[in-house]
Chain A
Amino acid sequence: MTAVAAPRPSTRRDLRTLLAENPIIVLTAVLVVLYVATGLKDHSLFTSNGVRSILLLACPLAIFAASQTLCMLTGGIDLSIAMTANLVAYVAANQYSRGTAAILALGLALLVGIAVGIVNGIGIGVFKVNPLIMTLGMASVLLGLVTVWLKTILKGSTNLIPFVKTVGSGTLVGPLPTNIIVWAVVATVLVLGLRSSGIGRMVYAVGDNRIACRLAGVRVWQVLLVVYIVASLLAAVAGLLFSGTTGSVGPDQTNSYLLPSVAAAVIGGTSILGGSGGYSGTIVGALILTVLNRLLLALDTSEAFKQILYGLIVLALAWLYVRLTGHKGTADAR
């Protein structure tokens, strides 16, 4: 570190630096405050069942936000994750109720997810289509396909695979729902993988400076391809978990997760311009949004007021984050 110390280091500045370098401390503090505030309104939150319900609901959001975090780290975004999740959950349930073995139905469904990721990745990585447009278009394509397929090749009953149902809604021990196992695996792989694997470092590098990466010999298109495949795969997993939790499948059931998944990653400190952030912040971001939803529910206000508050609080948190860390989201020249 720097050898020159300020003449009289004020503790206030030290604290500021500490917070600016570890924004996750502030995020956790916000989470705790929000949790306690919600708990005062809705006492069930302090019971083991209350904790379980928060974790249960936060899990699909956190996994959706994981795919968003990955894409955002490369400077992209994936707006097709919700439609991918819907399609995958539907395929799994439909195949299973037709008599396909559970493991095969699950495999087929995940393959569908991977296929979507490959198309996205090729479009963005090889043909350099803007990620926003590529995944927006993909979401349109999937929406049309799902609507038609419901009447043709995916016609028929939909019974959830029991395994999906167990993982999606069971209880592991005490306040821990079963789906937290999946979340823990995803979190471990992402946090460690992004920090210390080759591809993980390349994800940051590509997001930071694509031209420099290309000049340094990184095959940028391969990195992007992998990122979008993993993102779609994570979306598929989240879709399956969500169907297990709610016990239903539908052509638009996870659409309400799309924008919160972006918000969770941003609140967690991942820059939408790429190159900075990580999954640990996103986890806290997803928890904050879930508790926030619960608070708005406990306040017993109208749907309209809930949406107004939700938007304002997301904005306030993002603003707080920028204020605190001092790194602006945009290269401003004012």
Chain B
Amino acid sequence: MTSPTASVHRVATSIPEPTGGLQRFLHRQAWTTGVAVLMVLLVLWRTSQVPHFGDFEIRTITAGAMSLAFLAMAQALVVISGGIDLSVGAMLVFTNCLSALWMDGKGLGECIGIAVAVVAIAIAMSSLIGVIITVSGVPDIIVTLAASFTISGLALVVLKSPGGGASLDFQKLVAGGLNDYWPSLLWTVGTLALVWLPLRRTRLGLAIYAVGSNRGASFLAGVNVARTRVLAYSLGGLFAGLAGIITTAYTGGGEPRASIGANATLNSVAAVVLGGVALTGGVGGLAGPVMAAVCLSLIPAIMLGRGWDPSYAETWRGVIIIAVVLVGGLVQTRRRAT
């Protein structure tokens, strides 16, 4: 029997309840959780379409999405640092061609050595792109756009027509056998857990977030902005190079077509945005984009399973990207208003 004023009074002075760990996690990782739910729903949908959902189907999903997942990590790192890299797709094609050329007819040990060398080349090239961006002052979109032409050309120099190969053991090690989904799953999750999670807590990881969210402020706070931006591109090169190696292992050859690279770049940007990384920089992580990459690569299979024309997959991909960004934007504005 309290009067209305008393109840208002009590509400106003109540001490906020300490939030539970799960609640806090959901609040902070709202977007990533959303993408995870979307991914699970899509996988379940796909499961319901196939009569015998076994190891082979799981491997098709994990290994099929793997190269886009790594490319999305590359793009996400650069975007978090406040830039954008339109040359990641071309870098994937280039490293794919180079590794396929060198690995052709080699054994497992040599293939691993070649993979390390090719990734080192990719890191060097991406670092050079980063240096050009910071030194020249030309916008990153333009530099990486021009670089994408040049790198596609280099891929054609390396491999004139589809060809090359890789050791079967190496292919199994990276992408797994036809019924073996563990390698692809472990490589992707392992990279997130063992490379990304430690990295984001290091000085460099924090600097990347700081530079991405406010370049001027982080400069004033003593962060070496130019070096951080270059290193973000170098790390992007690392992941893009790995994506190329994965493509070689998954397809067992090299394919120098430039349109593959352009398409892959667009998909990587889509995965990054869908994965909750803001294009303005400084927000998001790598887990979201990886799961978004799985979602994006599941769409065509699901459409095919439903008996729809798989060409509509492109349309749905576009609609989903726009819708997610639109709804996400509205939700964020709402949250800021309250």
Binding site for B on A (CB under 8 A): 77, 123, 127-130, 132-134, 136-145, 147-148, 151, 255, 259, 262-263, 266, 271-273, 302-312, 314-315, 318-319, 322-323, 328-334
Contacts and interface: CB of A to CB of B under 8 A. Distances in A.
Contact of B319 (A141, A148, A305, A306): A141
Closest 5 CB pairs of A and B: A144-B315, A140-B318, A307-B153, A311-B149, A311-B150
A308 B147 CA distance: 8
Interface of B: 132, 134, 136-143, 145-157, 160, 215-216, 219-220, 225-226, 258-259, 262, 266, 269-270, 273, 279, 309, 311-319, 321-322, 325-326, 329-330
B219 A333 contact: yes
Contacts of B148: 259, 311
A137 B157 contact: no
A192 B37 CA distance: 52
B157 A305 contact: yes
B277 to A, nearest CB: 11
A143 B329 contact: no
Which of B132, B146, B215, B330 is packed against the most chain A CB atoms within 10 Å?
Answer: B146
Contacts of B322: 123, 129, 133-134, 137-138, 141
A318 B141 CA distance: 11
27 contacts: A77-B141, A123-B322, A129-B325, A129-B326, A132-B279, A133-B269, A134-B322, A136-B318, A137-B325, A139-B266, A140-B315, A145-B315, A148-B315, A262-B145, A266-B139, A272-B141, A273-B139, A308-B157, A311-B151, A314-B149, A315-B132, A315-B143, A315-B146, A318-B138, A333-B215, A333-B225, A334-B134
A207 B313 CA distance: 34
Contact of A306 (B136, B138, B153, B314): B153
A213 B259 CA distance: 40
Given A130-B325, A140-B314, A307-B150, 5 more contacts: A133-B325, A134-B325, A144-B317, A311-B146, A314-B146
A303 B156 contact: yes
A330 B146 CA distance: 17
A311 B152 CA distance: 9
A132 B134 CA distance: 22
Nearest to B218: A333
